[in-house]
Structure 1
Amino acid sequence: MIEDNTIYIDVFVHKEGKIIQLPLEEAVMLAVALQIKDVFHIELIKAQSIIARTQLVRLMRVFDGEGCSNHSSCDICDEGHCIELSDYSSLKAIDKKEIIKAAVKATEGLIMTFNNKPIDARFHHTCGGSTENSESILNRKIVYLRRVLCDYCINSPNWDNSKTISLEEIEERLNIKFPSLKPTLKTSIEGFFDDIKRDDYGRIISIKISGKEFSGTEISELLGLDSTRFSFSPAVFTFATRGEGHGLGLCQYGGHQMALEGKDCGQILNYYYTGIDIKKIEKPCIEKPLNGRIIMLDPGHGGESSQDYVGLNGTREKDVVLKIAQRLKPALEELGARVEITRNEDKYISLSKRAQMANELRPDFFISIHLNGYTNPTIHGCEIYHYRNDRESESLAKLIIANLTKDGEILNRGIKIADFYLLREVLVGSLHLELEYITNPEKESRLNDNSYIDKIIDGIKAGLTDYYKY
């Protein structure tokens, strides 16, 4: 919520069992307090402030976030499920509380974006030499979470570490059972006990220990074993590790060292997050609910060889959809959107070119506008298609069709999944709107009426507004 130019975040406080409103910048400060170490440089703390603010804005419903999935009607909860927040008493005890306040103030309103949307701002303590690609951790490719080499964190206390775990604990944690120790058990520990050769009766002929070869007899004598028929098993395992954390995004100790070497918070963030922009939050406006949004309109068909539908009285689909797109464009611009159109005249543009235009622009939504046709002239109504698993487009489609059909004049024929070329090849949220059946004579007549066209425009406009409004 935004009041008096201050942005508030709705936080569910589990101890009180209610939602409170907290100024966003205060929430950033409480988040950063738990995310940093006292040793960190001010520029790293500034970078962490931008990360925390990005994480919060990404969740806030006023900025199209999904809010807290465990508690309805709030943006985040204080249970650590969404993002961990310090309490005020803990903040007072932090040595660097004044530096945190200064860092948050210096970066006020700044977030990281990619394609004009807040990024998934992951960070970790120490990468140990390189960060990770997102697909290695999250099983999906995220353009801005790419592996970068990093020797900045070599002085981190977690550059090299080790942990010793007993055999029994490993069995319990992994829900496994190691084989029982028997004299003839085939065992090896790479680099320690290798290349074990036994005779047909299970006695050790030779074995390499730390790269040096011994006969079974030598080992038996040197170690005082009762027999050359032996195996071995460690009581505990020591795991050597390098770095700490999942390896995605910012390496905190690496960023700290970069700051010591004179890099500022922007340079640090741009090193660890590929291709991002750092920009001020664009505050939502009631009068301009689409402010900052990019919409690409695609009036279907066009040109002399257009394979569009034609009504019984000669009305062309390509002409009507162009008219709708041309009148929808300024209507959406009045609401704050930047609107691009694939064709502004009766001209043929290939599907591949339309997809290329969309993928170069990377709009928030690509909306392809069409009219349908059928041999039965009584068929009419609107249907909207989206690509499989495109949840954002499916949500928008439901809102658009609800607004288009709410008075019953346009029949709701439903939301459907399709594998159309543009839905498949355009790499952003995409919809294919079949607004009406031009082969229905009554609807063909209505499509030549400007008031009916305005009704369609109002329905699409209302759907987009509902999608983006708080």
Structure 2
Amino acid sequence: MNNSVELYIKVYDVLNKEVKQMELEELIKELVAATMPLTFHIESLKSQAVIMRTNIMRQMKIYGGKGVGKGIGADISTDYYPNLMPLESYNEVWGKDYFNNLEILNRVTEETEAQVIFLQDKLIEARFHPVCGGSTENSENVDGNIVNYLRKVLCNYCKEAVYYKEYKDITLDEIEKKLGVRFIKTLPIKNMAIEEMFDNITRDEEGRVVKLSIAGKEFSGKEVMELLELNSTRFSWRPEKIRFYTRGKGDGLGLCLYGSNEMACRGKKYDEIIKYYYTGVSIEKIEKVSINCPLKGKDIVIDPGHGGDNCSDYRSSTGHREKDICLDICNLLKESLESLGAKVYMTRSEDVNVPLSERAYYANKIQPQFFLTIHQNYYSEPSISGAEIYYYRGDIEAMLLGQKIMEQINNRVGLINRGVRPADFYLLRDVKVSSLHIELGYLSNDNDLKLLTDDMTKKDLAESIAKGLLSYYL
């Protein structure tokens, strides 16, 4: 029985300023179409599918990526892929080849299903460019950092590519504007050196050209005046356009797209192409998210607040103690998260005192994806009720998770939403991973107390936190 589910990715649409969900393989088809001509050899297209899948999954939160950040709550943003568009939009572009190209894309994704590129158990940043022009480049010469799999390799496969040799004419005005420079203004008695064209220039005291070399041949100033029909031997020169000659296109890092196509045409398979351009890598199938274990690979530290005989926890008018309710809910939360595949650690599993410094040390040693400390609140005015969640200032991912959890608590249990906001609590400050301080109700409020002392509601609260984590990742 197949317990895996289709993998969805959260995409931030910059144009419409909204987050939408896409099935991953459909996105891969769009990315291949946007980055390679579909006239390329099928093995070259398959290598690009593996590359794009690697780069996308490297960003996904469910696989340990950072996503877009900035509080957007998406895995990728369309501003990184300006040519991306839905496959149906290619109907006019491809014309009669539309359905054939769709079949090609289906084959490309099916024959590389779930395959990504690893180096030592980590997804690589699979850089690529259109044409390398004879060799790819070492990463430190482009970005300044040594990346073991982005090493220079010779590439004679792109010699026939459209971008292999080109030139571009740019006026001096454009160069000045774009580079922020100023060339010397031309005067008839001033020299402008143009290497291997005009050199060895001799002028008299009045600025007249006595002699000079042009392209290695010596002329007198008078000869040049007569041969070029100039008005005077007081002359100078200044190009109005510069022609820049280029070989290749792109920064030269990683895979050469046109080179990969030629390799495929010569009989190389997509895995051979990838391993040629990325040094020392392996291609493996990444484990899909499981229906039964969607949080597999995630480490969570749960911290039941307070504990021990002499702790400073809150007590209700009925004698119920915060430390006991916290431990009950955290035990249930541990069971719920473990059932979803997460690996869960508890700072305490019984009624003992654990100093805050030890709790922080324990969490920092484990380095989980999230640290959750659970508490209840108390206030002198018994009408105050509800749940509050705190995160350390600047911790955007914790804020996003807090919002997901609060939404679940409010909908599932009915506790009033009193907000998700920043705080400077000791554990939020000293635990060096994304952390939340969760206050589940007020022991001073009769309605909250009734919920917090009910076994079914405790389970619902634990389930709410677990579902919030699930929603954050999926």
* TM class, shorter-length: 0.5 to 0.7
User: Match for residue 268 of structure 1?
Assistant: 274
User: Match for residue 238 of structure 2?
Assistant: 233
Structure 1 residue 293 displacement after superposition: 6.2
Check 1:426–1:197 CA distance in 2 against 1; reply closer, same or farther (3 A cut). farther
Check 1:28–1:166 CA distance in 2 against 1; reply closer, same or farther (3 A cut). closer
Q: 1:354 aligns with which of 353, 357, 363?
A: 363
Check 1:255–1:318 CA distance in 2 against 1; reply closer, same or farther (3 A cut). farther
| Alignment check: 8 A CA contact 1:181 1:231 kept | yes
Matched, 1:279 2:285: yes
User: Match for residue 161 of structure 1?
Assistant: 165
Structure 1 residue 152 displacement after superposition: 3.6
SS of match in other structure, 1:170? helix
Q: How does 1:29-428 map to 2 (within 5 A)?
A: 32=32, 35-36=35-36, 43-52=43-52, 81-83=83-85, 85=87, 86-87=90-91, 89=95, 91=97, 103-111=108-116, 123-128=128-133, 129-130=135-136, 148-157=150-159, 161-167=165-171, 170=174, 174=178, 181-183=186-188, 187-188=192-193, 220=221, 223-224=224-225, 231-245=236-250, 247=252, 250-253=255-258, 255=260, 265=271, 268=274, 272=278, 278-280=284-286, 282=288, 285=291, 288=292, 290=294, 292=296, 294-299=298-303, 309-312=312-315, 320-334=325-339, 336-345=340-349, 346=352, 349-358=358-367, 363=369, 366-371=370-375, 381-386=386-391, 391-406=396-411, 410-418=415-423
Report the Cα distance in structure 1 between the residues aligned to 2:99 and 2:212, rounded to whole angstroms.
58
| Alignment check: 8 A CA contact 1:355 1:422 kept | no
Q: Deviations over 1:198-226 (max 9, x none)?
A: 9998788999999x999xxx774574477
Amino acid at match of 2:50: I
Amino acid at match of 1:340: V
User: Match for residue 71 of structure 2?
Assistant: none
SS of match in other structure, 1:148? coil
Check 1:405–1:208 CA distance in 2 against 1; reply closer, same or farther (3 A cut). farther
User: Looking at CA atoms only, which structure, 1 or 2, has the larger radius of gyration?
Assistant: 2
| Alignment check: 8 A CA contact 1:153 1:253 kept | no
Check 1:202–1:377 CA distance in 2 against 1; reply closer, same or farther (3 A cut). farther
| Alignment check: 8 A CA contact 2:30 2:85 kept | no
Structure 1 residue 156 displacement after superposition: 1.5
SS of match in other structure, 1:153? coil
Structure 1 residue 432 displacement after superposition: 0.9
User: Match for residue 17 of structure 1?
Assistant: none
Q: TM-score, normalised by structure 1?
A: 0.62
Q: Deviations over 1:265-291 (max 9, x none)?
A: 277169649988743572674xx5835
Aligned length: 428
| Alignment check: 8 A CA contact 2:188 2:234 kept | yes
Unaligned runs of 5+ in 1: 12-21, 67-74
Report the Cα distance in structure 2 between the residues aligned to 1:418 and 1:208, rounded to whole angstroms.
75
Q: Deviations over 1:115-141 (max 9, x none)?
A: 99998865322345445869978x9x9
User: Match for residue 18 of structure 2?
Assistant: none
Check 1:342–1:458 CA distance in 2 against 1; reply closer, same or farther (3 A cut). closer
Structure 1 residue 230 displacement after superposition: 5.1
| Alignment check: 8 A CA contact 1:311 1:441 kept | no
Amino acid at match of 2:150: V
Deviates more, 1:112-121 or 1:317-326: 112-121
Unaligned runs of 5+ in 2: 12-21, 69-76
Q: Percent identity?
A: 27
